[in-house]
Amino acid sequence: MKRNAFIMHLHPGCAGEYKKRHDEIWPALKEELHRAGVRNYSIYLDAPSNTLFAYQELTDDASDNELPGKDVVKKWWRMMKDIMDANPDESPVADPLREVFHLD
């Protein structure tokens, strides 16, 4: 199992809407993430800075690098771009974090 962590940034005042949209995440998106090998996916919010911290575990044979090409992923990004920092392709700006410690 591989571990992956990254940060993203919400627009001010959008935390409630971000949570609402994730509470109502589409089953097709969940299925696509699972099919790609994404497991144990959590997102945390640091409210004072509007920073989102995401953590996910990936199966050893994960194909998560194919997710950006999936229609349901693109549709989700399009829906989310109004409440968070996004790239020109509508994907969220996600800054990878380097693991410096791990304890099982």
Tens digit of each residue's pLDDT (9 = 90 or more) over 10-37: 999 999 999 999 999 999 999 999 999 9
Contacts of 26 (CB under 8 A, 6+ apart): 72, 76
Catalytic residue, from 11, 22, 34, 102: name it. 22
Domain ranges (residues) in the chain:
2-96
Q: What is the CATH topology of the domain spanning 2-96?
A: Alpha-Beta Plaits (3.30.70)
Binned at pLDDT 50, 70 and 90, residue 4 comes out as: very high
Residue-wise pLDDT for 49-75, tens only, equals 999 999 999 999 999 899 999 999 999
Residue 79's Cβ-side half-sphere holds a number of Cα atoms within 13 Å equal to 15
Radius of gyration, alpha carbons of the chain: 14
Can 22 be counted among the known catalytic residues?
yes
42 vs 15: CA distance, rounded Å: 15
